[in-house]
A = this chain, B = another copy of it.
């Protein structure tokens, strides 16, 4: 198939590489043009604008950082991709956005005769590289079915939650779990260390118990070495929890623990750790100690 792919960051670059590996024809675009080079070297066409990436695409994927970034690449400026997608084609947005932004994008697409599928992902760098992502999809059943083979080229599972908005809802829910596991692990380590338990023993006690989320084991080396190169940048999790808090407000419900996590991440980001991996929240908590 002819596929457009907009957004080649940590996740997008690996997802596009997998589509390419399955023999699809790709036109790719990224704000920082250099990121397209490795894909171009493997046969993708580096488009000069989002519009060009979309021009002939049967399906246009976007994998960007924020709802604002999606809007900007899709419709807000000249040379954006939505106006150049042909009617009847599909735009599949994999960005983590809030349900309201998602529905707004769907309306923009519908106004141009484009079919819209949302397909945010659970999983970060490694699952993306290995094609083990889980796609949390929202949209018309027929449209989701149409892109399902492409999604399964990039991941191992597609959960269709309902109409547009349901995918974002599931994704925000997953990232609340992620935030809960990461921040409580950071606090658990902090307390254990403060009480004198050697860190290696703490890892032995904590990892592997039924209360420990499986992904935490993969953070051990970062935490031990104090090197927090980002698999999933802290400020993106901060953003996702903000989107969850905003959606919760709109629905009139309370998420007190999620909001507390969000603020802990805001403090960590404010301390300069926003571009580091989410596990850097351990470093933030470890810093301060009453004399």
Contact = CB atoms under 8 A, between A and B. Distances in A.
Interface of A: 99, 122-123, 127, 134, 136, 159-163, 165-166, 168-170, 172-181, 183-185, 187-192, 194-198, 201-202, 204-206, 208-215, 235, 238, 242, 244-249, 251-264, 266-267, 269-272, 274, 285, 287-291
9 shortest interchain CB distances as A-B pairs? A180-B184, A270-B288, A252-B290, A260-B260, A254-B266, A169-B195, A210-B215, A173-B188, A256-B263
Contact of A173 (B123, B178, B205): B205
A160 B209 CA distance: 15
Please give the count of copies of this chain that the complex contains.
Answer: 4
- Among A160, A161, A184, A256, find the residue whose CB has the most chain B CB atoms closer than 10 A: A184
27 contacts: A123-B210, A163-B196, A165-B195, A170-B192, A172-B195, A173-B191, A179-B184, A183-B257, A191-B244, A191-B251, A191-B255, A194-B248, A194-B251, A194-B252, A210-B214, A212-B213, A213-B213, A253-B266, A253-B270, A254-B285, A256-B256, A256-B266, A259-B262, A260-B260, A267-B288, A270-B289, A272-B288
A254 B270 contact: yes
A256 B267 contact: yes
Contacts of A174: 188, 205-206, 209, 211
Query: Which applies to chain A's interface (DSSP): helix, strand, loop or mixed?
Result: helix
A195 B175 CA distance: 15
B211 A213 contact: yes
A121 to B, nearest CB: 10
Contact of A209 (B177, B191, B245, B261): B177
- Among A160, A204, A254, A269, find the residue whose CB has the most chain B CB atoms closer than 10 A: A254
